[in-house]
A and B are shown apart, each in its own frame.
Chain A
């Protein structure tokens, strides 16, 4: 129960120089199968083996280097590596990729990115645990040992940080990350999901500059008449699309990116509830609503680029870093309620909570798409923002506005916050509300995946905003 020391290296304020270190950490996972490190797909393929056999030497390398005292690299990954009579599990520092495991009654270790698949291979739900973000675990019949780890939320803020040097550091980190993406995914199709807001606008700006074969995709609801007109080839600009979509289209246009319009009727939400819950591995409304938008995007991106290796880029994570989420009111209901605590503490819980919910990678990977959240490499950087700076209402634009390509800035919707909330009818959130689908029903959808389990056991799978961690001992 003792608090653990962070193993993150001491932060240096000369972030340009530090970006070199960041490069090493990102590229550390570089190898012929690095896409496997970024993708959630491959672990699914090996699930069900008596012992996990993961041929990717990068996993061994990463764990080996970690045990030799180097920090886990930034980015997104979750993997299992056979090690003698045990397996070693490792997961990225903020938990973008999910990693569940457990022992069957025969003593087999089963691990995978989806809890339900581990369960279907004979591990009772109560025995399934999640590898904590930023940790390396060793699992065998003898039990689970934590070989070490770091909590991003424990990173100390830097009270001397200036907005200017911070913004320069962010730029340097993203430059490195996109150079790395360009190299590792050379020849792949990139699709940027645009919401019309700042965060996805930044990702699109960097993608347009550093990557080839880039397209954009944006989502809007249409009424039935406009859906028919769209099906008959009417230009989207002539239809009653959302304001978010208009902004997204303008951003794509400014960057000369082809735009894939993803359109649905408002009634389509009702048919997407179950899949959204299942793929995002969560029943909490804020994640399910977002997963629904991503579900529609994933379906159409897959259909638009059949047979291609597609990397989907999203602007997720920045809201957690900057801590700028707000509550939403629909009628008498308040959704996405925020804790009344200081901003720096709120940020800690937001970032900590990235562990649970698979609304990005979990949804896109189900359609064979590799989802990439480039802001994942900025986790430590943004956790250094001191509390007084977090309280600034203009913080996001002050820190990140210059990361946009200049021609994009006039088109960005400055009020955009969440992909699933937009317009007067509040978008997907509003539709769930009008359908009467609240968390109680979403919880039942989650429980229905595990028909032989007690509802209480299903509910315990997410505790205090995180997936249930296993009981483990510490040390090598």
Chain B
């Protein structure tokens, strides 16, 4: 979070989102091992449907995002449409982080 904020003035939105995705991927690979690697973990598919996360793992994933970026995701946004893939999750985190500023 701090690193992202410190550099955010120089970063494009796309860069910020890419940085968030990297952290999310690191978390998934370390906490929820699967057949996927950093390169093969799908960015646009549901990790639940892929079997990478189970329902408890999804909640842990959301908690990781909230804690890491210091945000509180509202119930309304906890949907497949808004966080149903790594890229969607990153966009949502970015949105909340921007609101915090």
Contact = CB atoms under 8 A, between A and B. Distances in A.
Interface residues of B, number: 24
B75 A349 contact: no
B30 interface: no
Contact of A466 (B54, B60, B72, B75): B75
A345 B76 contact: no
Given A463-B80, A464-B78, A464-B79, A3 B59 contact: no
B12 interface: no
Contact of A339 (B60, B72, B75, B83): B60
Contacts of A424: none
A284 B99 CA distance: 35
A131 to B, nearest CB: 13
A10 interface: no
Contact of A464 (B58, B60, B92, B99): B58
A230 B76 CA distance: 51
Contact of B78 (A4, A339, A345, A466): A466
A284 B78 contact: no
Nearest to B78: A464
B64 to A, nearest CB: 9
Contacts of B56: 337-340
Nearest to A336: B56
B82 interface: yes
A339 B79 contact: no
A470 to B, nearest CB: 11
Interface string A436-473: 00000000000000000000000110011110110000
A88 interface: no
A339 B53 CA distance: 11
Contacts of A132: 75-76
Nearest to B74: A3
A2 interface: yes
A349 B61 CA distance: 13
Question: What does DSSP make chain B's interface, helix, strand, loop or mixed?
Answer: helix
Contacts of A345: 63
B77 interface: yes
A464 B80 contact: yes
Contacts of A2: 74, 99
B54 A337 contact: yes
B75 A151 contact: yes
Nearest to A459: B49
B7 interface: no
B95 interface: yes
Contacts of A469: 76, 79
Question: What does DSSP make chain A's interface, helix, strand, loop or mixed?
Answer: loop
Interface centre among B54, B63, B73, B76 (most CB of A within 10 A): B76
A427 B59 CA distance: 28
Contacts of A341: 59-60, 63
B42 interface: no
B59 A339 contact: yes
B55 interface: yes
B75 A352 contact: yes
Interface in A120-140: 132
A468 B79 CA distance: 8
Contacts of B73: 3
B72 to A, nearest CB: 6
A3 B73 CA distance: 7
Given A337-B54, A337-B55, A339-B57, A3 B72 contact: yes
Contacts of B74: 1-4, 151, 154
A284 B54 CA distance: 12
Nearest to A327: B56
Given A1-B77, A154-B75, A337-B56, 13 more contacts: A4-B74, A132-B76, A339-B57, A339-B63, A341-B60, A459-B49, A463-B78, A464-B80, A464-B83, A465-B55, A465-B59, A466-B75, A469-B76
The 4 A-B residue pairs with the shortest CB-CB distance in the complex, in nearest-first order: A339-B59, A339-B56, A337-B56, A3-B74
Interface of B: 49, 54-60, 62-63, 72-80, 82-83, 92, 95, 99
18 contacts: A1-B95, A2-B99, A3-B73, A4-B76, A132-B76, A154-B74, A154-B75, A284-B55, A337-B56, A341-B60, A341-B63, A352-B75, A459-B49, A463-B79, A464-B79, A464-B83, A465-B59, A468-B79
Interface of A: 1-4, 132, 151, 153-154, 284, 337-341, 345-346, 349, 352, 459-460, 463-466, 468-469
